[in-house]
Amino acid sequence: MNDSISAKSVIRIVLLVLCGLILGLNIYSFNANNLVGNKLPMPFGYGAAVVLSGSMEPVYHVGSLLYVKAVDYRELSVGDPITYMINQDTVVTHRITEVLPDEENPEVIRYITKGDANDSADGSSVHYKNVIGTPIFSIPYM
């Protein structure tokens, strides 16, 4: 009888810990902008965002849930999709079309990007510090 009680206690503790972790991640996600100034929280190096425009159709559909993995900016190359901040309120996912050294400091990397469905490249380059990560998969039409 004691064995079954202790097994139930262990299961209960494990479930409480899991619930606590999930609650903590949710609180962090909802408050990420206030805590770290980032619209796309990346606990454990992964984050999720909803696709709001058709600029990356047909790869990422409007309404899809896009999962992003943090990446070392030095590993990015032409053809890679990246998720980046264009300002404090806006996160974008577009594909790298060109990798450029910064005009003032050649050690600083900038990326020229373009949405797959767009006719032309984006109007401004992306500073490497604005890169959040690279999409690893999406769940369409959430």
Order of strands, sheet of 46-50, starting from the edge strand that comes earlier in the sequence: 46-50, 65-69, 131-139, 81-87, 90-101, 109-114, 126-127
- For the question of residue 64 being annotated catalytic, the response is no
Helical H segments across the chain, by residue range:
2-36
Selected catalytic residue, list 6, 9, 53, 124? 53
96 to 50, 59, 63: CA distances (angstroms): 20, 14, 22
Tokens for 55?
């600029």
Cβ atoms of residues 124 and 100 within 8 Å: no
**Catalytic (active-site) positions:** 53
